[in-house]
Amino acid sequence: MSYLVLTRREGEKITLRVQPGTDADDLLAQLLLDGITVTVKGIEGGRAQIAIEAPLDLQILRAELEEA
C-alpha cells in the first residue's frame, strides 16, 4: 500500500488509475482485501488536505498533472 497527502481546493480533482502493465486479477484481489482509504486530514483557508492510501498499482494524480 502507498500513502499520499494532497491539498485540494473546491472543484479541484484527484484521479486514480491503474498503472500500465498491472495484472488486473492481482489488483482486484488487493482491492478486495485492503480497499482504498481516503482521509480528510484538515481544512484551512478553503483548502482540504486529503490523504489517500491505495495499492502501489494505482496512480494517484492531481487533475492538472493528468492533463499534462
Q: Are strands 47-54 and 37-44 parallel, antiparallel or unpaired?
A: antiparallel
Angle CA(27)–CA(33)–CA(59) in degrees, nearest 5?
A: 40
Look up the domain containing 14 and give its range.
Answer: 2-67
**CATH label of the domain that carries residue 13:** 2.60.40.4380
Q: Are 8 and 51 in contact (CB under 8 A)?
A: no
What confidence score (pLDDT) does residue 39 get? 96
Q: pLDDT tens digits for the chain (68 residues)? A: 888 999 999 999 999 999 999 999 999 999 999 999 999 999 999 999 999 999 999 999 888 876 65
What confidence score (pLDDT) does residue 47 get? 95
Total domains in the chain come to 1
Tell me the C-alpha distance between 10 and 62, whole Å.
13
What confidence score (pLDDT) does residue 35 get? 95
What confidence score (pLDDT) does residue 52 get? 96
What confidence score (pLDDT) does residue 23 get? 95
* Residue whose C-alpha cell reads 498533472 in the numeric block: 65
